[in-house]
Structure 1
Amino acid sequence: MMKVLLVDDEIFAVRGLNSMLHWEAFHGELAGTAANGEEAMEYMAATPPDVIISDIKMPRMDGLKLAELIHAQSPATRMILLSGHGEFEYARQALKYDVADYILKPITREKVNQIENLLIKFYEENQERKQRFLNAWNSGLEEKILTILHNQDMEALDQFFRSSYFVSTMHSSSANPLGIQLINYLYAYFSQIDVNRTVITVSRERAMEQFWDSPGTQEKINFIITSYYDVLTGMNQKKQAYSESFITYAKEYIGEHYSDPEFNISVLADSMHVSLSYLSSQFKQATGSNLISYVTAMRMDYARRLLADRRYSIGEISAMSGYEDARYFAKLFKKKTGFTPSEYRNLKT
């Protein structure tokens, strides 16, 4: 149904128009009434209608100011202005705010027919827009949303929720279809990442109930946005916690085994049951350091400390630092420090 808000400070004018309109002709229903622009905006905040029919001359906030605010805050809402003869030019100014039409008072049967023809046009346009939305969604938007979720791309999600497409659709008669689709795709994502099917079914039903129970459009929008951000935030937190635990284990294992000549990064990857390429990329991403360079740095640091103690030969220090080949150790040490092991020892002792 297309929801229509009637705005006029003359209660009898509101009642008269309400009774004269053939609501079924344009699949409409009376969303509510307001006595001025301020009341209309309060109503908009709670339950935005599809169409507003408003008088121009009203106390507190007139129809022109109301048209300006609607144009800025809810561009999908259509507006028809009613004007007395003396306010004709005033009504013409409202056209810059995309007012659909202005109807001159008094409101006769002929004028009501004119309004009804506009409302029928609005309804048909809404239906076409809804169908375009469903077609567009089925041809690619689902994939885009699932890609955002899989990539945990918060920036892309922000862009979607700020888009004129999302905002205008959620403030139109297509709001409920869009909301339900978004909930369905959120749980389709859960299914793809192997969340328990029973949990998915129960959670989705609960989410549907919460969406339908949301009293107004803004509450429905808030529910959808919060649901998506909660998922991404939760996934990012889990990912962060896993990453921190993963890297902590790797560092601890290296710290315990780097001095063993049998140790290398392939051994580390095997102990963590991951591929060497995955381990290397995760370590680089988390620490900014190359994995091999990290191990080498620990070995070189340990070798420098040992070289300060003349009880150990260069060959022994090489083995104690994780290098069976003393010549390779000496070459690597010079590359990293600028000194041979013997030169470094002489400098420090």
Structure 2
Amino acid sequence: MPPTLTPAGPLFGPDAVVFDTATMQLGVRVYPDARNGDLAAAALPTRFYVEPPALFLARRDTGELDFAMSALVKRGPAPEIEYVGGTCTFATTSALPDAVFAEVGDRLVGGDHPEPPARLAPLFRCGRIAPELQPIPISRSTISCVLAQPPAVAAPLPGSIQFQREGSLESAGRNTFLVTCGPATAAEFVDSLRRRAAPPLLLAELRTEQFDTGAATLVARVSVAVDRLCTDDADPEDRYRASLARGAIEVVVTDHTGKQVEQGLRAWISRSEPIKQAVFALAGPRLRDTAAVEPGGRQPAGLVLRDSLELHGAIALEHTVTAQFGDLVAAVTEYGTDKYLTVLDIGGY
């Protein structure tokens, strides 16, 4: 009995079709499954993957946004007020409204979307029955969140943020945050909400998204010029990206005929997990630890390390998204701040 044909995952590479939906101001990128041609030939539903473009505030069971700010104040002679501190709790999610998936699905069926790039076009046009839609698969998620420094504030805002650094791998999963505010921070949160502006937070998620090469088998040849590697940045990932930008890491990718793939695809593959793993295996100590650099910051002159690897099947790439607080701004603009802000007077002075 032949094996059951199943979807493989989003087709690898930088190409996608961007849908501007009526439900959201942000466009969503849609990728076809790498096996859509085979699925259509077998009279099975084709599959497409929607990439959430940002982190959004989650909603409670009541439908209201999961965000609450409480500030403590002392009041003096009117209109003087002194902020003592406060707390802010909120939750984020990558989940897109059901209406987005419904609209994208209808437009896929009707062909009402921008023209797909040439390498994707056959995978968009092959289906004869309604396609399946899923969020893009995520294998790893790392969250970062810090207090932003408003332009008018000279010193960094004091406070602390508690949250789980490992984010949810499910698009509908929630990440929760607790911000403990000093007086200046509490004042800035309150002022932002009253001005109908986003809270002073810089929140990002680094996702590792899963793709697939489909039927393609590629060969990647990696060269690392050791004396040109970047060792200035503290984070190894930043060093990797900077080394790519300065040409210390070079990647040549060819298809099964030996022809080099086009520049955009090569650049995408150069940032993928298999290539990064190969580079770190070659020159890991020099990228991970500045102590591995020779005295004076010099690397062995002229040393070039090389490796070759085959790419077939699953391939992952990191993608960073930031938090959008547009729903909160819209809610406080329409309903006022009372749903999301509580100011507690703890007495005069």
TM over 0.5: no
Higher CA-based Rg:
1
More strand by share: 2
TM-score (norm 2): 0.20
More helix by share: 1
